[in-house]
Amino acid sequence: MNREALETSIKTALEKGDQAELEHLSKEAVKNYPEDPFGYAYLAEALLMNSPIPYNEAELCLAKASQLAPQDTGYLAQFASLKSDQGEEGLAQILWGKILGMEPNHLEALVAKGDYQLNVLEDYPAAIAFFDRSIQYQMDHTPSYLYRAKSYLKLKEYDRALKDFNHALQLTDGVADAPMLRLQLGIMIGLNEPQGMIDAYRAILAIVPDNPQFHVNCADQLVLLGRHEEAAQHYGKGLALLGAEEPSIAYL
């Protein structure tokens, strides 16, 4: 099988999630084209589909691919992601920084650096600077808006956070998963918007209906708006899920 046909077959196996075939074809590529990095990179992909994951073997494959093609940011990005998965975030950040030195608009690297500033270093202005760059490079990148919204939320810049969240929601055609809705809830709490909190709680409960605390919290906000019948329904559901009366809410 020539190189082009082999790579096409490898990509098909990867798209199908056929781990055994992917590993077999990747090993064939490594054997027949030992100076070509593509076989090593795909073999790493195949190894990462195993359970438990043989990280050391996958790392060796990606190291070889990067050695053969040192200017290929794609292989470096795979390597950086692997180090993150292994919990070696310091080395991963060095690799992401190296990628940005070679390709300043590398979207995955910008988001990874911003995420590290946001969730590990808690340097929210630095995180926003990275997400500003990723959005400037790709204006429809939903995760960047959500990460930036979370950064603004941490800085208590609630209006900016809401603007970014709403833009992300437009990009997903109004479809929000649980993490997005939790972010929305945080913003509504920051803005002290009872109806916004109620809407967020109910949207979350549509996904995770058996969370008693969300029912109770939603009920608390309904009480503030004088909507006692609706509040009683949520309190009742919360009590039923708890399986026992909670003194703080039993009086309802």
Percent of the chain with pLDDT over 70: 96
Percent of the chain exceeding pLDDT 90 equals: 94
Query: What radius of gyration, in Å, describes the C-alpha atoms of the chain?
Result: 24
The pLDDT value recorded for residue 206 is 95
Largest CA distance in the chain: 76
CA 227 to chain centre: 36
In this predicted structure, the answer to whether residue 244 has a pLDDT above a threshold of 60 is: no
Distance CA 17, CA 46 (A): 9
Kindly state the average pLDDT of the residues 21-30: 96
pLDDT bin (cut points 50, 70, 90) of residue 252 is: very low
Q: Is residue 184 within 8 Å of residue 176, measured between CB atoms?
A: yes
pLDDT band at 245 (very low <50, low <70, confident <90, very high): low
Average pLDDT over residues 139-159: 98
